[in-house]
Amino acid sequence: MPGPRLTVVGSINLDLVARAERLPRAGKRVQVPTGVALITVDAHGENEIVVAPGANLELKPDDLVIDDTDAVLCQLEIPLETVERASELAPDRFFLNAAPARGPFPAADVTIVNRFEKEALPERDGVVVVTFGADGAVLYEDGNEVVRAPSPHIEAVDGTGAGDAFTACFVVSTLEGRSQEEALRRACAAGAIAASRFGAQTSLPTAAEVDALL
């Protein structure tokens, strides 16, 4: 039996990762350069990312052709009008990783944010998943907590890509028909594995690695 089909509408960047003891914070085919993300990672694996979006801002609503898919996953490193168009073209379920937090952005069947992005998120109906790093994640429906999952204990090396791993695992697990509780547990495991490795794409775990950790 074929697996679920998912279309991802988002950005692509050339990541430059630099290590630092402390973070400096208080509290494509167009004639435009490729997007660049500068990532600083501290000794505890916490990271901060500054993105020069480049060609990502050239992805326009009319560029989208979405068909033969079971769901669409989108994020906010592309123009908001393109995100809106992606939600309109989604044949069934629309998932949104509302990062970086900015708006207004369209409604989604599931909205995924981290604890800092949640502060900037207006009240939303439906399912909202909030990640809390080492403290796991919580799934809310219409503002009410429904499911909470812990994060497996790991030695944090680099949090870059952990949110992407979490989001991808949660969405795929949901499309596979798993329960909200199982999808959230698997997503926390995927995020933990990514945080235990250095780098972005190189840190992303396989489904087998997620199963082994659980």
The sign one gets for the Cα dihedral 68, 73, 78, 79 is: positive
How many Cα atoms are found within 13 Å in the side-chain-facing hemisphere of 137? 30
Say which residue, 1 or 185, is predicted with more confidence.
185
Which residues neighbour 16 within 8 Å (Cβ) at sequence distance 6 or greater? 36, 37, 38, 39
Q: In the chain, which residue ranges form alpha helices assigned H by DSSP? A: 80-89, 115-119, 162-175, 180-195, 207-213
Number of Cβ within a 10 Å radius of residue 22? 10
Share of the chain above pLDDT 90, in %: 63
Percent of the chain past pLDDT 70, that is, above it, reads 96
CATH number of 59-213: 3.40.1190.20
Please tell me the predicted confidence (pLDDT) of residue 12: 83
- Average pLDDT, rounded, for the chain: 90
The whole-number average pLDDT for the span 173-198 is 97
Average pLDDT over residues 75-86: 96
pLDDT at residue number 90:
95
The answer, yes or no, to whether residue 204 has pLDDT greater than 90, is yes
Q: Where are the domains of the chain?
A: 59-213
Q: Is the pLDDT of residue 24 over 70?
A: no
Q: How many Cα neighbours within 13 Å face the side chain of 73?
A: 19
Spatial distance between the Cα atoms of 209 and 171, rounded to a whole number of angstroms? 17
The pLDDT of residue 44 is 87
| In contact, 70 and 46? CB cutoff 8 Å | no
pLDDT of 155 over the 60 cut: yes
Report the range out of 23-27, 123-127, 145-149 with the highest average pLDDT. 145-149
Tell how strand 35-41 and strand 47-52 pair up.
antiparallel
Question: With bands split at pLDDT 50, 70 and 90, how would you rate the model's confidence at 23?
Answer: low
Catalytic machinery residues:
164
Secondary structure E strands in the chain:
6-9, 13-19, 35-41, 47-52, 71-75, 93-97, 110-114, 127-131, 137-141, 144-149
